[in-house]
Amino acid sequence: MATPKGYVDSEYLQVVGDFLNQLKQRTYARMQIQTGHKVLDVGCGPGIDTMALSQAVGATGEVYGVDYDKTMITEAEQRAQKAGISAWVKHKLSDAASLPFETGFFDSCRSERLFQHLPNPMTVLDEMARVTKENGWVVVLDTDWGSGGIDTSEIDIERRLTRFMADHMCDNGYAGRQLYRLFKKQGLVNVSFEVLPLVVTNYTFARKVWSLDKLEMQAVVMNVVTEAEVKKIQMEFEQADANGVFFGYGCLTLVAGQKAG
């Protein structure tokens, strides 16, 4: 498989996943999981969430993770084996647009930071709803790359970079703001939403979480900013960091809805 736009490796997902742990916990709570439930994580990556969900359903339940990246599925399977939970935690190689499960198989279903990569988000949400039982919960947490910003006096450069990030660094950079509409269109009921900030005050971590090296390089290649402008804004960020006042943020949207009974 060719490396998709916005690809990140499992080391990145673990570091960012640890940082987002409270948000992850909120998605599990929205799934209303009970012991013995069958639950699904779509776009599961290396299995960070399937490991956590295994505790919620217990050994009488079933957890499935699905991802279209073979490396991620292999790592997730290895983690489950190492943790001794592979009897009830399984990972399958599959495109989210065509889930390999029967209709109504799961008590609840989630995805996290998957929709930002999807050219066909409605198809995937339809699939998530299809495989969920009547009255079961579908929960999606996703990024809105257009929502964020970093404190700087170089507003024009920062705005061009933020716009470029949302428009070009992944296939669906405005996923977060679309979810409420998609859930309503799908026919899910009792739809709730939360907008959750991700605030970063450590410049080194900001460069990692927002892939700033790659962003700046590609923005220069596409003539969105010049190298001199990148240097100028980097110097401001470094100065802010040295003064202990670096501040950046972005928003994620958490939407939950129930399959109509």
* Contacting residues toward ligand SAM, per CB under 6 A: 8, 13, 17, 43-45, 48-49, 67-69, 72, 95-97, 112-114, 117-118
Rounded least distance, CB 71 to ligand SAM, Å: 9
Q: How far is the CB of 228 from ligand SAM (least distance, A)?
A: 32
Q: Which is nearer to ligand SAM, 19 or 193 (CB)?
A: 19
Cβ distance to ligand SAM smaller for residue 69 or 216: 69
The residues, ordered by sequence, that sit 6+ positions from 242 with a Cβ below 8 Å of its Cβ are: none
**What minimum distance in Å lies between the beta carbon of 76 and ligand SAM?**
9
Nearer to ligand SAM, 69 or 107 (CB): 69
Cα–Cα distance, 111 to 128 (Å, whole number): 9
DSSP 124: H
State the nearest-atom distance from the C-beta of 18 to ligand SAM, in Å: 10
- Tell me which residue has its CB nearest to ligand SAM: 45
Would you say the C-alpha torsion 218, 220, 225, 230 has a positive or negative sign? positive
Q: How is the beta sheet containing 38-42 ordered, strand by strand?
A: 89-93, 62-67, 38-42, 106-112, 132-150, 248-258, 189-200
8 vs 196 by CB, closer to ligand SAM: 8
- CB contact at 8 A, 50 and 82: no
